[in-house]
A and B are shown apart, each in its own frame.
Chain A
Amino acid sequence: QSALTQPASVSGSPGQSITISCTGTSSDVGGYNYVSWYQQHPGKAPKLMIYDVSNRPSGVSNRFSGSKSGNTASLTISGLQAEDEADYYCSSYTSSTWVFGGGTKLTVL
């Protein structure tokens, strides 16, 4: 149950696009199409942004998209807005357990 690997921080200017990577192994990210992404603002509970690699829940902006290649999943946010500044976590299901990434702090410059 080792944590998935995410960059500690990424940044971008309003209107730009950024991508956050999430690297696991063939036992988690690479073995299942069950990667999800969560946004967390300071002092708040996490919010589901992407599920099953690339699906968006109702109400989540289409500026958020997800993909996967091999053992690495990615979250892309296009048209960055100030309110996107938050921590982002990936998660993968793996045989009745779950593993999260260490989190990425997104700064909107």
Chain B
Amino acid sequence: EVQLVESGGGLIQPGGSLRLSCAASGFTVSSNYMSWVRQAPGKGLEWVSVIYSGGSTYYADSVKGRFTISRDNSKNTLYLQMNSLRAEDTAVYYCARIEAVGATYFDYWGQGTLVTVSS
């Protein structure tokens, strides 16, 4: 059974850093495309970043240069390193699997982890 479990969220001051983790089971992270999607309180979904099976990474303009997506194949875990955090980064962060190499849709989602950026 495919499962994604996020962790690492919390309250952080503006300008601070945080690393989110997404532990996967039931499939191999390195063999799939994996993404982060966020949702500000009461707002819609916003795509954040993707890492392809080959290692290429892409980011939304809103986080480019501040966030870094990565994975640890030995731990089957996806990460999102978030630096220079701003109030507008406050959101629930979901990790999501893209169904297969070459696919373009998110077939499994974690339960999300809340990041609150506030002084």
Contacts and interface: CB of A to CB of B under 8 A. Distances in A.
Interface of A: 1, 3, 32, 34, 36, 38, 40, 45-48, 51-52, 57, 89, 91, 93, 96-103
B72 interface: no
B107 A46 contact: no
7 contacts: A3-B44, A45-B109, A45-B111, A46-B45, A48-B106, A97-B60, A103-B45
A83 B112 CA distance: 22
A85 B62 CA distance: 31
A51 B102 CA distance: 13
A45 B105 contact: no
Contacts of B35: 98
A56 to B, nearest CB: 12
Interface residues of B, number: 23
B79 interface: no
A3 B40 CA distance: 14
Contact of A36 (B44, B46, B58, B104): B104
Given A45-B110, A91-B106, A103-B44, 13 more contacts: A1-B61, A32-B104, A38-B45, A40-B45, A45-B111, A46-B37, A46-B109, A47-B109, A51-B104, A98-B35, A98-B47, A98-B104, A102-B44
Interface in B79-119: 94, 99, 103-107, 109-112
Given A1-B60, A102-B44, A91 B111 contact: no
Interface in B43-59: 44-47, 50, 56, 58
Contacts of B61: 1
Given A45-B109, A46-B94, A97-B58, A52 B47 contact: no
Contacts of B37: 46, 100
The 7 closest A-B pairs by CB, nearest first: A93-B104, A36-B105, A51-B105, A98-B47, A45-B109, A103-B44, A34-B104
